[in-house]
Chain A
Amino acid sequence: VEAPLIAKKAEAGQFVIVRVDERGERIPLTLVDWDKDRGVITLVYQAVGLTTRKLSEKKEGEHILDVVGPLGNPGAAEKFGTVAVIGGGVGVAAAYPRAKQLRQKGNYVISIIGARSSNLLIFEDEMRSVSDELYISTDDGTKGRKGFVSDVLRDLLQEGRKIDYVFAVGPTVMMRAVAKVTKEYQVKTDVSLNPIMVDGTGMCGACRVRVGGETKFTCVDGPEFDGHQVDFEELLTRLNTYREEEAMALERYVKGGGGED
């Protein structure tokens, strides 16, 4: 997407809010890549509902009505030593800029990426290009280890691999599982949360999460938080708030064959 102002300021860990058309809702998408010189940003999304479906129907040369950003805080970019960067599902794309950045900072990067099935695995080559080691898992065993990315991480830690820092992004249940493993082994872990957002600038609190017992706004205080402090149960509950409405909106759109009323 052409967005020179955003490309100029973007840092790993940040996101944008997009609105597809006049009637559209505002949704957050992680910044996956950017080119300051060409003024271009890269966004990766999975068509899971109405808005992402509309986005996926956009052709090259067409416009997205509104793109706002970069929002949120950049992630922790230090030299930790050996780091594990973990991405699940569409989150693999979101993991890519952080893996790239952590490697540039001189870390030894172990990437663990996963998906439900091999045909859903994305960004494998990109991740390989910025990793010292790459592991793959699929839920159904069609590629790499059968199981979850958190299982791969557990294997490594069990083998006695020393890991100084873990960054995970993907489905909330996946990040919860990763945080559970690293808590056992006491490895510092950041997760990139994905709550419901509206404005993305701290105005409304739709994205509020409990971290270490305190309420935080993901859009301005995050999106990355200490995985051992996050109340994942609350986040999972809040993500379901509009489940019926989301299904209804998608169904209407699909039946309408293009969203015309």
Chain B
Amino acid sequence: MRELEVSKRIRSFDEVALGYNEEEAIAEAERCLQCKNPKCVEGCPVGINIPEFIRHIRNREYEEAIKTIKLANNLPAICGRVCPQENQCEGRCVLGIKGDPINIGGLERFVADLELSRGFEVPEKAPDTGRSVAVIGSGPAGLTAAGDLAKMGHNVVVFEALHEPGGVLTYGIPEFRLPKRIVKAEVGYIEKLGVKIKTDVVVGKTLTIEDLFQEGFDSVFIGTGAGLPAFLNVPGENLCGIYSANEFLIRVNLMKAYKFPYESDTPIKVGSENVVIGGGNVAMDSARCALRLSQKNVTVLYRRTEKEMPARRDEVRRAREEGVNFRFLTQPVGFLGDDRGQVRKVECIRMRLGEPDRSGRPRPIPIEGSNFYVDADAVIVAIGQRPNPMIPKTTPKIKVDERRGTIIVNPETLETSFKGVFAGGDIVTGAATVISAMGAGKKAARSIHKSLIK
């Protein structure tokens, strides 16, 4: 797929991957073998009929292609862009055994973008059931559950704590990977299905779950995600210039701090030596935002090696092309500041890899006495997020895994210990992917539907 030139893209927040034109999309679709037992579908967490939509593209039946996708997925323009397809549909594609798998994500995006440019057709909905469902959180899990429940004929209201819907799609993933106009358009589609979205409502504070039942909701879905940032808990971490990735990305993506002071009132500060700690997608997003904001040095510190990085390969490659530096086997142990309380250096220790840990990856072990310093005047800590504790804290009836902070659900129905309250996405699994949250949203919608119509 064509990409924006490096020299251009590092000076803007414009989307990097440009997408297929019609000719390219058809050429790619024609490579598909149309398997009888398609493995790609098994790899898709929401089970899109992939060979069928690709066949429609081949035949230039784009309306049919999008209809096929939307039977399973309400947010294809988003998924086509941000799914880690290499571990999902494309990872199973038989063409991938010997050569390149079909670029399924690229094709999904192609038809979804085509639909966005033409305007949506609202699919037929089931007749009104007279039942209503409150969805808490408007991230991928909540939007998917809401869309599906609306199609099933229920009245759905989504409550969102921030001033814009979308969750991580809005505040987390940067414009250059997922343009916000795409998120707005797909959220608009969910609204067209009849879903009402109420922003600025913090469930647990503005309203409790009990209040929602009192207001007449028959069922509640919790999709509040994993929005609690993890810190390293090392000395100096509260120096000025040290951000959690969440803060950094919220300022950049949601508050548009990269337009400060011209079109945004929210400031942000980067430096000439910017350091990002972590090896996931959030770390890559932070590093590439820092690069675009500062036009200066950005270094990623990761405690394992490149092979173990959880970030998507394509995004690591793009970060590298854009000039982000990487230091592997490096673990921060503290931060040093100047007399004004501004961070100046990261104290690090070298690591070596040991036996596999619970995650199956080799455990990083510090090498005694190998401490060294890395210059830094801005630091972004991107070492993971924990489930958002707001609702479990204010709703004791909901059972939680104390160690992980996740909500415990019945794995078959996704119902919590609070009858009529379901949960899915990162709040149940811990930080995972957009598409697995959507899969959970779909599953919850099905069991909520079952519980409401019986």
Residues of A within 8 A of B (CB): 5-6, 9, 19, 23-26, 50-51, 65-71, 198-199, 201-206, 208-210, 215, 220, 234, 237-238, 240-242, 245-246, 248-249, 252, 261
Do B250 and A25 have beta carbons less than 8 Å apart?
A: no
Task: Determine if B155 is an interface residue (Cβ-Cβ < 8 Å).
Answer: no
Which residues on A sit within 8 Å (CB–CB) of B267? 25, 242, 245-246, 249
Interface centre among B229, B240, B266, B389 (most CB of A within 10 A): B266
Q: Determine how close the nearest CB of chain A comes to the CB of B278; give it in whole angstroms.
A: 15
Pairwise interchain contact A68-B238, C-beta atoms closer than 8 A: no
Set of chain B residues within 8 Å of A51, measured between Cβ atoms: 265
Contact of A205 among B163, B207, B246, B388 (CB under 8 A): B246
State the total of A-B contacts with C-beta under 8 angstroms: 119
**Chain B contact residues, CB within 8 Å of chain A:** 161-163, 199-202, 205-207, 227-229, 231, 233, 237-241, 243-244, 246-247, 250-251, 255-256, 260-267, 269, 340-341, 388-390
Contact sample, A vs B, 13 pairs, CB 8 Å cutoff: A9-B207, A24-B265, A51-B265, A69-B202, A71-B205, A198-B266, A199-B250, A201-B390, A210-B238, A237-B239, A241-B241, A245-B260, A249-B261
What are the residues of chain A within 8 A of B340 when measuring CB–CB?
237, 240
Task: Given A69-B202, A237-B341, check contact A202 B390 (CB 8 Å).
Answer: yes
CA–CA, A70 to B200, complex, Å? 11
**Contact between chains at A19 and B163 (CB < 8 Å):** yes
- In the complex, are the beta carbons of B207 and A5 less than 8 A apart? yes
Q: Which residue of B lies closest to A235 (CB)?
A: B238
- Contact (Cβ within 8 A) A6 B389: no
> B238 to A215, Cβ gap below 8 A?
yes
- Chain B's closest residue to A252 (CB) is B261
Q: Which residues of B contact A26 (CB under 8 A)?
A: 163, 255, 266
Q: Are B161 and A25 in contact (CB under 8 A)?
A: no
Give the CA-CA distance A75 to B341 in the complex, in Å.
Answer: 30
State A68–B160 Cα separation when bound (angstroms): 10
- Cβ–Cβ contact B206 & A206, under 8 A: no
B261 pairs with A66, CB closer than 8 A: no
Cβ of A24: which chain B residues have Cβ within 8 Å of it?
265
Whether the Cβ atoms of A234 and B200 lie closer than 8 Å is no
Partner of A206, one of B200, B231, B247, B256: B247
* Contact across chains for B206 and A68 when beta carbons are under 8 A apart: yes
Q: Are B200 and A68 in contact, CB atoms less than 8 angstroms apart? A: yes
Closest to B265 in A: A25
Least CB distance, B219 to chain A, in whole angstroms = 21
